[in-house]
Amino acid sequence: MNPKHHTSLKIAKQLVEAGIVIESDYVWCHGDLIPVINVILETTKSDIFPAPIATELLERLPDGCRYGVNLVKLMSGYGVELTDYTQMPYKRLEFIQDKNPCDTLALLLIRLTKDGLI
């Protein structure tokens, strides 16, 4: 398991705060990334945040990637470029994260949800 393959704890919390709960095989529990099967039953839900991988995030977008999403590698991390402007008015979303593409996709999902587009 590589933490860079999952959303960071900070972004995982933002997903939950936005009402986006994605079932994942891994969760952040008390600051540690662990498999769901290792979560202690006594742990409260407020201590657990799903840690989705990129494919789990992409599955939440309607019709796969209906919006023409391109994940772009930048010098300092990742960005998201949207190529289908008929679906969305955004030309480029400046979600640049510290070398974690999952965080970038999660922020895109949060923004689309908050804007009422999905």
Q: pLDDT (tens digit, 9 = 90+) per residue, 22-35?
A: 989 999 988 889 88
Q: What sign results for the dihedral spanned by CA atoms 14, 17, 22, 24? A: positive
Q: E strands of the chain, at which residues?
A: 26-29, 32-35, 48-50, 69-74, 77-82, 92-97
H/E element holding 55? helix 54-58
pLDDT digits (tens, 9 = 90+) for 30-84: 888 988 887 766 566 678 899 999 889 888 876 645 556 667 777 777 777 666 5
